[in-house]
Structure 1
């Protein structure tokens, strides 16, 4: 059994916790020689259901924002010395995509994500994404806290 992580997935958004998780992912990837870092952003399509005027312009705009976000992360990773970095943008339920779909497709060995605080009611009804990833993933998970 290998003790190195060859395929590392880091989930990013615009939160402070996500920024810390990304910095940690860079460190882990640099410490695991020849690893590949996958930087993922999942556009939660459930949020579109709340808009009566949902249209393809919203989808295009969300994709453009995600692309800009991930391009900046890729640039930071390369500046830190990582060459093997790939971005992934997906639409759907973040829990399922981050914990199950991408790890299966890309043979992920480690998932890194930030812990985020949600409102009381939403957290009671849905739980946090990071908590779901910990329970659903079939690989190691590192949840980064903003202490």
Structure 2
């Protein structure tokens, strides 16, 4: 039997929140801060950085496009410009997430990754030995989800740990 305060200290849950530039992903982070890591649940002053990981995955810029029948390759300067813009966007997204955590006095480690978001989220969660992946729901309709897929749907079916998809509350004025 492994009881006592020392065992409880070692068994803190490691949570990874995947964020992008959507309101839904920041709502999911806020939900984690309020419901999982809030002072009433786990004392925020006892929380360490290894408990909360916030990741952002940048999709690689395609180095070719097919408008019609011919392949078009962007110049090096265009690729560099797009990469710089993506890095600045990722930095701003994570800065906003860190501010949200700081307001609640919660420490978090952040990471920017590059690749296919759905695969990277699963891979990184496994590498980091995460206990729970949390992500926001974009609310794609059935048709869009069938054609373009859903990152959360993929992660739910392929992650090796539990996945929590946080849906924002329904708009009360949406019918007006």
Q: Given the two structures, how large is their TM-score scaled by the length of structure 1?
A: 0.84
Shift of 1:5: 5.2
Higher helix share: 1
Corresponding residue for 1:37? 52
Shift of 1:140: 1.1
Decide which of 117, 120, 138 is 1:94's aligned counterpart: 117
Distance 1:135 1:15 in 2: 22
Corresponding residue for 1:107? 129
Distance 2:147 2:58 in 1: 20
Corresponding residue for 1:23? 30
* Alignment check: 8 A CA contact 2:53 2:110 kept: yes
Larger radius of gyration: 2
* Alignment check: 8 A CA contact 2:133 2:164 kept: yes
Corresponding residue for 2:105? 81
Decide which of 60, 64, 82 is 1:58's aligned counterpart: 82
Shift of 1:49: 5.2
* Alignment check: 8 A CA contact 1:115 1:145 kept: yes
Higher strand share: 1
Q: List gaps (5 residues or longer) in structure 2.
A: 66-71, 171-176
Aligned residues: 145
Shift of 1:119: 6.6
* Alignment check: 8 A CA contact 2:24 2:138 kept: yes
